[in-house]
Each structure stands twice: as structure tokens, then as C-alpha cells.
């Protein structure tokens, strides 16, 4: 219980200290190659959710909206698949794009990303 209370008290502090990115960071990115009709939900350069498009999809390209203007240094990113059997990983990263690799095709699957 004490851990939960401490965590709840720290969230506003961490968010204002720019340790936890929030929606105010970056613009709205776009998707490149990511299957047919992929979608972004609550997406910003700093993080969001991708619904992979249909077809055989083993990678997905996210184009940052503000690229060089947003990132002072090269960004670091983490990705996670919501599938229990197919894994997502960062296969390439530049100041303007994040390429997400998938261990197998994941049409219609969900992947979240977080960049800082």
C-alpha cells in the first residue's frame, strides 16, 4: 500500500520534470510502411499507440512530426507489442523516423511506443 501511495505522489512530480513524456511533446507523427490502413491513437512524437495495418506486416515506420526541431539529441525509444507471442523491437532509429520490427507478421495488432 505504501508503494502505491508513493507512486501516486510521484507521478505529478515526474511529469512536470519532463521525465515522463506527455502529449505536449512533439507533434502528431505519421505512419510510413505499416501494412494497409494502419492507424495511430493518442500519438505524439513522444509516444502513442499504433494499430498495424492488414497484410503481411513485419515492420512499421513512424515518421516523427517535428524530427530535428523536436529532438535536441538523438531520441531513445522503447516499443511493446500487445501480442503475447509476437515481439516488437526497435530495428532502426533516426531523428526523423522510428522503425519497429516484429518477430512475425502482426496484421491488426497493437504496438505502443515511447520516445524520450
Q: Are 99 and 59 in contact (CB under 8 A)?
A: yes
pTM, full prediction: 0.77
Per the model's pLDDT, the better-predicted residue between 110 and 18 turns out to be: 110
pLDDT at 67: 64
User: How many degrees, rounded to 5, is the angle at CA 82 between CA 109 and CA 114?
Assistant: 100
In the chain, where are the structural domains located? Answer: 24-115
pLDDT in tens, 48-96: 999 999 999 999 999 998 766 666 778 899 999 999 999 999 999 988 8
Amino acid at each position: 500500500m505504501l508503494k502505491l501511495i508513493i507512486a501516486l505522489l510521484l507521478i505529478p512530480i515526474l511529469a512536470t520534470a519532463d521525465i515522463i513524456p506527455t502529449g505536449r511533446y512533439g507533434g502528431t507523427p505519421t505512419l510510413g510502411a505499416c501494412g494497409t490502413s494502419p492507424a495511430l491513437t493518442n500519438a505524439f512524437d513522444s509516444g502513442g499507440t499504433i494499430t498495424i495495418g492488414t497484410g503481411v506486416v513485419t515492420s512499421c515506420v513512424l515518421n516523427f512530426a517535428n524530427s530535428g526541431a523536436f529532438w535536441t539529441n538523438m531520441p531513445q525509444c522503447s516499443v511493446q507489442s500487445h501480442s503475447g507471442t509476437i515481439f516488437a523491437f526497435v530495428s532502426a532509429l533516426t531523428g526523423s523516423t522510428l522503425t519497429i520490427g516484429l518477430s512475425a507478421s502482426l496484421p491488426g495488432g497493437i504496438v505502443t511506443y515511447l520516445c524520450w
